[in-house]
Amino acid sequence: MINHNELIQHRYRLIRLLGSGGFGAVYLAEDQRLGRTVAIKEIDVARLGPDERAAAEQLFEREARMLASLDHPGLTRIWDFFQQERRAFLVMEYVPGCTLRDTLHRRGGPLDEPFVLECALQLCAVLGYLHARRPQVIFRDLKPANVMVVEQQPAIAGEPPEPPVFRLIDFGIARLFKPDQTGDTLIIGTPGYAPPEQHGQGQTDVRSDIYSLGATLYHLLSSYVPNTVPPPPLASVNPAVSPDLARIVARATAVDPADRYQRVEDLRHDLLAVARAQLIAAHEQGLVQEAAQTPWRPPAVAAHRAPTPLPPPPALARIAGLAAARRARADCVRAIQWRCGLQPDACHPRWPAATDVDNRRR
């Protein structure tokens, strides 16, 4: 255990303890050289046995260099590593927020399925990135305490917030997968989340991380730590969990690695199918509720209107056009007569009387 305000490597001054457990602790510290806040993971290899301690000290630097090369939004960046007095240190990015374990404690019961599905899909993306590395990176310690929940602010004021971001924060026992190795050098992990092969029954591989992810989802959906291998069926602990999601968790936590999902992409595919089905069901339910809340009104009846007259036949249209033209011509003649002071003929109103024209000329 490191003392408060202690200066390590003449660079990192400890502020406070963030958490502890297993083979180490995590501290909040200040990088006095760069002026930023960091998290320092202390791994106490002195607590291991003599044989395991020697192997751990040899593997630490090589694996720390590998971890420092990782770059993914769901991972905390590793900026430095060193050993001091039989203690190994990883200097990591400090991620403010709370862990999934804290979220469970505050809730006091199972978390909502949409939240769990969002968490599962993001963790699948992170594990897929790690497993695609060459050599593969096996996380080996996926559990609620090692997943940070970072709440997001809405992009526009007044809009609903974006889904939270889930990030892995502890690479204390991550290892490189070696196909020619029959067992792990170090037998460590968290009971309840670590698969059987991680406790000396074989070498961990990508299916081990899938088991840990399934056990984490089991805990989030039931609020119970899966202490047995395999854990009891989810339906017996929380009947409200959808059957499709319960089957996915059961397959991911199978005892035999051959019975689990063989790739994280396959697990993610099934999780996406459940998420889409729930999204469609929620949308349809919203439409039903909206229809139920809308009062029924009888269909509007159109007011009575006179029937629209049919257009006239072509012959009548021509006659009507000629009549209109004649009327317009008569109006022009009357205007001329008025301007000239003439009186129209009684028998022929469109033309001036001949006698008036003659009298005008005289």
What's residue 23's pLDDT? 65
Q: Which residues, at least 6 apart from 100, have a Cβ–Cβ distance to it below 8 Å?
A: 119, 144, 145, 147, 149, 166, 216, 220
> Which carries the bigger pLDDT value, residue 62 or residue 268?
268
The CATH code of domain 95-290 reads: 1.10.510.10
Please tell me which of 52-56, 126-130, 196-200 the model is most confident about, judged by mean pLDDT.
126-130
66-73 average pLDDT score: 86
What are the structural domain ranges in the chain?
Answer: 1-94, 95-290
Is a pLDDT exceeding 80 seen at residue 88? yes
DSSP string, 153-203: --SSTTSPPPPPEEEE---TT-EE--TT-SS-SS----TTTS-GGGGTTS-
What percent of the chain shows pLDDT beyond 90? 40
What's residue 110's pLDDT? 96
pLDDT range class, residue 326, cuts 50, 70, 90: low
What percent of the chain shows pLDDT beyond 70? 70
pLDDT range class, residue 250, cuts 50, 70, 90: very high
Burial of 137 (0-12, 13-18, 19+ CB in 10 A): buried
DSSP string, 7-43: EETTTEEEEEEEEEETTEEEEEEEETTTTEEEEEEEE
What's residue 357's pLDDT? 43
Tens digits of residue pLDDT in 13-36: 999 998 876 667 889 999 999 999
> Which carries the bigger pLDDT value, residue 332 or residue 175?
332
Range with the poorest average pLDDT among 79-88, 94-103, 175-184, 192-201: 175-184
What's residue 135's pLDDT? 84
| Rounded Cα distance, 46 and 52, in Å | 10
> Which carries the bigger pLDDT value, residue 243 or residue 19?
243
What's residue 85's pLDDT? 79
Rounded to 5 degrees, φ, ψ at 344 are -70, 150
What's residue 44's pLDDT? 75
- Total residue length of the chain: 362
> Which carries the bigger pLDDT value, residue 274 or residue 3?
274
What's residue 127's pLDDT? 96
| Rounded Cα distance, 335 and 176, in Å | 108
Q: Report the amino acid identity of residue 37.
A: T
Q: Report the amino acid identity of residue 341.
A: G
Is a pLDDT exceeding 80 seen at residue 214? yes
| Rounded Cα distance, 323 and 333, in Å | 15
Of 71, 112, 141, 331, which residue is the catalytic one?
141
| Rounded Cα distance, 107 and 160, in Å | 21
Looking at domain 1-94, its CATH superfamily turns out to be: Phosphorylase Kinase; domain 1 (3.30.200.20)
Query: Can you list the alpha helix ranges (DSSP code H) found in the chain?
Result: 50-68, 100-107, 113-131, 206-222, 234-237, 243-252, 264-293, 314-340, 354-361
Clarify whether 141 is annotated catalytic: yes
Please tell me which of 50-59, 142-151, 294-303, 349-358 the model is most confident about, judged by mean pLDDT.
142-151
206-211 average pLDDT score: 95
For the entire predicted model, the pTM comes to 0.71
Tens digits of residue pLDDT in 108-122: 999 999 999 999 999
Which residue carries 């257009």 as its tokens?
A: 311
What's residue 348's pLDDT? 47
193-208 average pLDDT score: 82
Which residue carries 């769901």 as its tokens?
A: 74
What's residue 208's pLDDT? 94
Phi-psi group of 28: left, alpha or beta (phi > 0 → left; psi -120 to 50 → alpha; rest → beta): beta
Is a pLDDT exceeding 50 seen at residue 38? yes
Range with the poorest average pLDDT among 264-273, 298-307, 326-335: 298-307
Structure tokens at 173: 């026992």
Mean pLDDT of the chain: 79
What's residue 307's pLDDT? 56
Range with the poorest average pLDDT among 112-126, 141-155, 261-275: 141-155
